[in-house]
Amino acid sequence: MSAEYDLIVVGAGNAALCAALSAGEICKRILVLERAPEDAAGGNSRFTAGAMRVAYDGVDDLRKLMPDLTADEIARTDFGAYTEAQFFDDLGRVTQWRCDPDLTEALVKKSFDTLLWMRSKGVRFVPIYGRQAFKIDGRFKFWGGLTVETWGGGPGLVDALTRAAKQSGIELWYSARATALIHDDDGVHGVRVKREGRTTEVRARSVVLAGGGFQSNPEWRARYLGPNWELAKVRGTRYNTGDVIRMALDLGAAPAGNWSGCHAVGWERNAPEFGDLAVGDAFQKHSYPFGIMLNADGRRFVDEGADFRNYTYARYGRVILAQPGQFAWQVFDRKVLHLLRDEYRIKQVTKAAAGTLEELVRKLEDVNPDAALEEIRRYNAAVRMEVPFNPNVKDGRCTTGLAVNKSNWANPIDEPPFEAYAVTCGITFTFGGLRINTDAQVVSTDGEPIPGLYAAGELVGGIFYFNYPGGSGLTNGAVFGRIAGASAARAARAARGGA
């Protein structure tokens, strides 16, 4: 039987749509399968804030990505540079140098060109003023190696890519759940799909898997991440349950990466079980470097200032999950309230506020108030006040003599009003997945590429271990989505004789 499509892409988020658009430059008969209904489509990408980590050498590079940057914006902003060497170093450092060197090289070296290509497809980029820059002496300065975000955040990114796909003649099926791969000794030849209550087989010369990780499957979370992970909140889509990974493993694909690891953050304690598109990413609470975190015993348990938020937030959710009751309170005083991100000002927030510390600790639900007050006072006395506070750099303003010291941005909690916010663990995506090569071909347990099968995005293992530099997930999906689409399309074209 001849193939109905040149290429099938499973998923409709950032990685999947980049794959489809890339393939569309080479072949034309492309089908995208999205498990979610259209109003919930886009996977985790739709739930993100849209930050994308990219290597650039200065403002001239950024103007290529953001041609509508004004002369005034450039004059009042220190955009700095974020070189390939810095990107390499950040990925290596936070993953304890376990990241696959070949995949990492492709991610870093292709990051700028990929974002430039995305712009050509209609994706608009803007500076992340609201979350990655502080104004010092009248000039904005970016920090943490993260400067660029998609206009409209995750929803804007998905909408732009979806619009480009439809304009390119790419076919999209919504509420279409892929259940198995069609394969034989010669490779993969299509996908079995359940759509509108009926199961059918759809044939294609190549298949790209880009359907997300297994973070929305509590049974898999407990199995692979460990005890209590079934209790975590899911930050994004309910549809990323690992089915697409399982489909590939069932035909002999090799698992790879940190299967017991994930991206997990501090998340509104009373948020719903899965992400809410009306709130989006605003349940996150990422200004903790400027305050302290207390657990149910009233104790600090982590170095809130170990590094820039970009390099700690993706692993601190795990630390919060390990606390009694799986929650913590973030505590701030007047000195830093103006530094809190917009997500602290939403209506759906568990907050306590008071004019005295004694009053505040008694408002911290499920916390030992006497121990909490003692802990805050002990912390206040340990701050090195002679070191200047500077939120733009790792300022070295630390504490000394505590069981858990704070390395940077330590300020006494001593000026009213005081505010505190309750957080739990919110899981974003899992780090374990399928093994691929630099052409995004899925590799079998025998070490050879599986003909006709490619993968990109969250379901690829081998890049992130233990932690993750902020903004690198979307860039990873876009880079390897583009590679996967092009590789799969070339293989499809070759299979039909190059026509």
SS3 for 71-139 is: HHHHHCEECCCECHHHHHHHHHHHCCCCCCHHHHHHHHHCHHHHHHHHHHCCCCEEECHHHHEEEECCE
Count the neighbouring beta carbons within 10 Å of the beta carbon of residue 171: 14
Closest CA to 82 of 148, 14, 135: 148
Can you give the length of the chain in residues?
499
Q: How far is Cα 192 from Cα 305, in angstroms, rounded to an integer?
A: 49
**330 SS3 class:** strand
pLDDT in tens, the chain (499 residues): 346 999 999 999 999 999 999 999 999 999 999 999 999 999 999 999 999 999 999 999 999 999 999 999 999 898 989 999 999 999 999 999 999 999 999 999 999 999 999 999 999 999 998 767 777 778 888 877 899 999 999 999 999 999 999 999 999 999 999 999 999 999 999 999 999 899 999 999 999 999 999 999 999 999 999 999 999 999 999 999 999 999 999 999 999 999 999 999 999 999 999 999 999 889 999 999 999 999 999 999 999 999 998 899 999 999 999 999 999 999 999 999 999 999 999 999 999 999 999 999 999 999 999 999 999 999 999 999 999 999 989 999 999 999 999 999 999 999 999 999 999 999 999 999 999 999 999 999 999 999 999 999 999 999 999 999 999 999 999 999 999 999 999 999 998 775 5
Q: How far is Cα 78 from Cα 82, in angstroms, rounded to an integer?
A: 12
The strand pairing partners of 262, in sequence order, are 430
**Which of 3.40.640.10, 3.90.700.10, 3.30.9.40, 3.90.226.10 would CATH assign to domain 264-426?**
3.90.700.10
Of the CA atoms within 13 Å of residue 64, those in its CB half-sphere come to 14
**485 burial class (0-12, 13-18, 19+ CB within 10 angstroms)?**
buried
Tell whether the torsion through CA atoms of 476, 479, 482 and 485 is positive or negative. negative
The ranges of the chain annotated as CATH 3.90.700.10 are: 264-426
The ranges of the chain annotated as CATH 3.50.50.60 are: 5-214+431-495
**233 SS3 class:** strand
Does the domain made of 5-214+431-495 have the CATH classification 3.30.450.90?
no
Q: How far is Cα 329 from Cα 314, in angstroms, rounded to an integer?
A: 17
Q: Record the tokens describing residue 417, joined without a space.
A: 């009003």
